[in-house]
Amino acid sequence: MSTQTDDTRAARAGLVPCWSCKGPVAGQALFCHTCGAIQPPGQIDRFRRLGIEPDFDLDLDVIERRYLGFQRAIHPDRFAAKPAKERALSEAQAVALNEAYETLKDPLRRAAYLLSLKGVDASVSKDETVRDPELLMEAMEAREALMEATSIEKVEKLQAKAGAEAIAILSDLSKAFASGDLKAANRLTTRLKYLRKYLEETRTRRIALEQPEGSA
Amino acid sequence: MLLQIHEPGETPEPHAQERGIAIGIDLGTTNSVVAAVDGEQPEVLRDAHGDGLIPSVVALMPDGVVVGREAQALRANNPDRVISSIKRLMGRGVHDVKSLAGVLPYKIAASGDSVGMVRLEVAGRSVTPIEMSAEILKAVKARAEQSLGQDVTQAVVTVPAYFDDAARSATKDAAKLAGLDVLRLVNEPTAAALAYGLDTGAEGVYAIYDLGGGTFDISLLRLQKGVFQVLATGGDSALGGDDFDHALAEWAIAQSGITGLDQSSAGSLLLAARAAKEALTGADTATLRTEVAGRKVEQAVARGTFEAMIAPLIQRTVRACRQVLDDAQVGAKDIQGVVLVGGSTRVPLVRRKVEEFFGCAPLADINPDEVVAVGAALQAKALTRGSDTLLLDVIPLSLGIETVGGIVEKVIDRNTPIPVAKAQDFTTYQDGQTGMLVHVVQGERETVDACRSLGRFELLGIPPMVAGAARIQVTFAVDADGLLTVSAMEKTTGIRAEIAVKPSYGLSDSEMADMLRDSLVHAREDMEQRLLIEARVEAERVLLALNAALAADGALLTQPERAGIDSAIAKLRHAIKGEDRDVINAAVEGLDHATHAFAQRRMDRAVAQALKGHSLDEVEASMATDPTPDRSRPGRPDAAR
């Protein structure tokens, strides 16, 4: 009989039973070491899913390599001829892997996720309006400047300025996380989110100026 | 009893060999092509004359359906019975098509229903684009079976990368109607890249510029060590060589001053325009010759004139190219090469503009008409017989739901790798609201009207609460075919609702069932046979897993215990040889019961070891099977990109 205590003990040991051969498997293993069956994607954070410790600074080449390496093993194309159960598990693994990859490779999502791991809700979701009145004011002025920019050169200038600031924020973010200053990290993340949105608007504006028939 | 030991992840598939060769199909707007890997190399399957193209033309004649060249030949005398370019209507709704009416050579069936799938009026019959595509696929399947000399039931079918969910699921339904099991829908540019990359061993970032008869796709892919990773994709699902023909035809009509074009002469005018367009690829001038309303039209056209007509259309493709570069954050100078796909890339101005934009001469060494089917065949082989290559694709258009005020809230952004699942929370906006309509849309614009509606469903039974108190979690899941399933759940109560998104423009399940019955593809016996095969496969899986477990931990069993398990194994082996799936399932259950204590003991021992003497890390190190040793450790120069 499987009892509550057994399950708890197994969980403490980091083990789960394999769905196929019922033997012990490490919680984060992709495959059972005994019978070779693909396992469900356990509950681990997105950094550890790609085999790295949670940190804002990371080596993107390592992320890419791990991602492609794991994809080679678990992608649904590898399981197309397998029974439904294994196909579903491979899809679940690929979904979890893609989620981890998408989060880690983008500094904005990575920062927001890291904050959430540390218990800070960075609210990078789009429906959230900016709460910082100073940033709000600045955003309104920047938008006005963009609407008033009537030449591609002027738009490009605004674009370059915002782009440079977005890049500069990355090193500030890195420092904030390194020193454990989560409040600063949160503020910088919000600011980066705003800059991203603004850069998107500059692109739209640029396209509108390039096509005479299209309006803004 | 013999023990079999397999490498992790390589448990053999018991009935994989029972199936024949899986084919790759490029279901095109103008032509379709089928290829297969029979042996090592992919090959386009041709007719007796060596022709690889099957015109995507269907003729509904009184004595039966005709497809391909023969159908094309029937057009002149039976213009109202012959349908072409049906791909442009896949997944389209009635109102989508209204804007195209007059342009397309179809008669749209009058229907009071303004939301349903579009139907065509052909030879007095009302038919759907799905059925017509199924007819083309049946002809493709027949060509393959004749060429390979065996039955074909499995296929990879390509779709434009820019196809939305409705068009994808319509394509899959068409294949099902034709008696084909779709292993995977693959995006056309990705398939082309696969064929091209494998042929040349290319590495780096490549652009695939695919201009077909009715669709335009542009995709950026990174090729490295056998992985084909799509970085971004874009395009226009209603732009292609057909539009060049239309531009030329309209010009010719305007020049000649003829009015009152009927359906039959419009068809022949378009054919004449296409012939003139093709002639202009090699010559500086061509003459468009046809007969309209009894009057001869003969219009000389210079290449420059033609190019001026189509330049705005090509400019649209260039704009899409710029967008994907932006999306992928890649500069035009980072592109290693541009691969041209689709017959319309033969137009010299297209080549010039592509070269101008990307700054490098485009590659077209593989026949642009056949490269997609070749890639599909390679993928079909990879899915059925394994491969060293891997395709990682993305979703082409953002997915979202309608919120208050007709604003779209995006749930999954375009160019996200698939498969993907994302959940987002929404809430009620009225006190006491007990239902919520979930309207799923696809597109990049911010308002619902400017996006494509994919489907609506309702989550009912939300307990009355104050506005904003309910937590409704909407989950979008896109599978490896790029097909979407949406589910919604009220979190405080656990009430659920789910749809596979297809109702708006696809066939309803009952329509599908009717059609399948009509075509006699899947009889009841088939179903029974399938369930029996599935039971056998599952039983074999259980036996293999148990063999592995016994090989590893058999020492944990006493002799009588082992004897008990062995006898349950023998029973199951016997059952598998029989024809009764209930007996097989019962034997599987019996074996499960017989091995319960064994499984428990295996777990207990591992847990005890983990929690006692050994540190957790050691246990994990011995158990976590990382099947992909990081082949390229830092220091490999080619790894740094």
Determine which of B3-7, B213-217, B297-301, B630-634 has the lowest per-residue pLDDT on average. B630-634
Find chain A residues with C-beta within 8 A of B602's C-beta: 22-24
Given pLDDT bands bounded at 50, 70 and 90, which one contains residue B105? low
Q: How large is the average pLDDT for residues B198-217?
A: 85
Contact (CB<8Å) B628/A61: no
Using omega within 30 degrees of 0 as the cis cutoff, is the peptide bond preceding B8 cis? no
Which range of A144-148, B455-459, B573-577 scores highest in mean pLDDT? It is B573-577
Phi/psi of residue A16, nearest 5 degrees: -130, 155
Task: Choose the catalytic residue: B38, B165, B188, B369.
Answer: B188
The one-letter amino acid at B162: Y
- What the block records as the tokens of A47 is 């950094």
Among the partner-chain residues A29, A82, A101, the one whose CB lies closest to the CB of B13 is A82
Per DSSP, what are the bridge partners of residue A16? Answer: A25
Q: Which of B355, B320, B345 is nearest to B234 (CA)?
A: B320
Find chain A residues with C-beta within 8 A of B544's C-beta: 35
Q: Helices A84-105 and A107-117 meet at what angle, rounded to 10? A: 100
Task: Choose the catalytic residue: B96, B135, B210, B369.
Answer: B210
- B217 belongs to the catalytic site: no
| Strand A24-26 with B31-37, pairing | unpaired
Statement: residue B111 has pLDDT above 80 = no
Specify the DSSP element, H or E, that contains A208: helix A182-210
- What the block records as the tokens of B108 is 């749209």
Among the partner-chain residues B7, B391, B639, the one whose CB lies closest to the CB of A61 is B639
pLDDT score at B625: 44
Task: Look at B440 and B15; give whichever has higher pLDDT.
Answer: B440
pLDDT score at B166: 85
Q: CA of A181 to nearest chain B CA: how many angstroms apart? A: 29
Which residues neighbour B538 within 8 Å (Cβ) at sequence distance 6 or greater? A83, B588
pLDDT score at A128: 47
Please, are residues B416 and B395 in contact by the beta-carbon 8 Å criterion?
Answer: yes
Q: What Å distances lie between residue A66 and B76, B628, B631, CA to CA? A: 59, 9, 10
Task: Look at B506 and B258; give whichever has higher pLDDT.
Answer: B258
Distance CA A170, CA A164 (A): 10
Q: CA of A86 to nearest chain B CA: how many angstroms apart? A: 10
- What the block records as the tokens of B421 is 């699942």
Q: Does B623 touch chain A (CB under 8 A)?
A: yes
- B534 belongs to the catalytic site: no
Among the partner-chain residues B537, B603, B616, the one whose CB lies closest to the CB of A14 is B616
Contact (CB<8Å) B600/A2: yes
Strands (E) located in B467-543:
472-478, 484-490, 495-500
* Cβ contacts from A onto B, under 8 A: 187
Find chain B residues with C-beta within 8 A of A63's C-beta: none
Low-confidence ranges of chain A (pLDDT < 70): 1-6, 122-131, 211-216
Q: At CA B327, angle to CA B322 and CA B331, rounded to 5? A: 55
pLDDT score at B360: 87
Q: Which of A175, A174, A150, A149 is nearest to A162 (CA)?
A: A149
pLDDT score at B389: 87
Find chain B residues with C-beta within 8 A of A41's C-beta: none
Q: CA of A146 to nearest chain B CA: how many angstroms apart? A: 19
Please, are residues B477 and B484 in contact by the beta-carbon 8 Å criterion?
Answer: yes
- B26 belongs to the catalytic site: yes
Among the partner-chain residues A9, A77, A211, the one whose CB lies closest to the CB of B391 is A77
Q: How large is the average pLDDT for residues B426-441?
A: 83
Which residues neighbour B186 within 8 Å (Cβ) at sequence distance 6 or greater? B156, B157, B158, B159, B375, B376, B379, B391, B393
Please, are residues B219 and B187 in contact by the beta-carbon 8 Å criterion?
Answer: yes
**In the β-sheet with B64-67, what is the strand arrangement from edge to edge?**
B64-67, B58-61, B82-83
Question: Mean pLDDT across chain B, nearest whole number?
Answer: 82
Please, are residues B486 and B438 in contact by the beta-carbon 8 Å criterion?
Answer: yes
Burial of A179-189, coded b for 16+ CB within 10 Å and e otherwise, reads eeebeebbbbb
- Give me the interface pTM, i.e. the ipTM: 0.84
Given pLDDT bands bounded at 50, 70 and 90, which one contains residue B527? confident
Given pLDDT bands bounded at 50, 70 and 90, which one contains residue B517? low
Which range of A193-207, B103-117, B136-150, B200-214 scores highest in mean pLDDT? It is B136-150
Distance CA B609, CA B118 (A): 65
Q: Does B3 touch chain A (CB under 8 A)?
A: no
Q: How large is the average pLDDT for residues B296-317?
A: 91
B contact residues 413-452, partner A, Cβ 8 Å cutoff: 416-422, 424
- What the block records as the tokens of B455 is 């489907």
pLDDT score at B192: 92
Find chain B residues with C-beta within 8 A of A70's C-beta: 628
Statement: residue B43 has pLDDT above 90 = yes
Q: Does B631 touch chain A (CB under 8 A)?
A: yes
- What the block records as the tokens of B85 is 């370019």
B462-515 pLDDT, tens per residue? 788 888 888 888 888 898 888 888 888 887 777 766 655 444 444 555 555 565
Q: Does B595 touch chain A (CB under 8 A)?
A: yes
Q: How large is the average pLDDT for residues B241-262?
A: 83
Q: CA of B105 to nearest chain A CA: how many angstroms apart? A: 29
pLDDT score at B263: 67
Q: How large is the average pLDDT for residues B110-116?
A: 51
Distance CA B130, CA B136 (A): 10
pLDDT score at B110: 57
pLDDT score at B526: 67
Which of B10, B11, B420, B481 is the best mutation test for A, with the most CBs of A within 10 A? Answer: B11
Statement: residue B554 has pLDDT above 60 = yes
Find chain A residues with C-beta within 8 A of B595's C-beta: 22
pLDDT score at B13: 46
Q: Give percent of chain B with pLDDT exceeding 90.
A: 37
pLDDT score at A125: 44
Q: How large is the average pLDDT for residues B574-601?
A: 93
Among the partner-chain residues B6, B553, B603, the one whose CB lies closest to the CB of A10 is B603
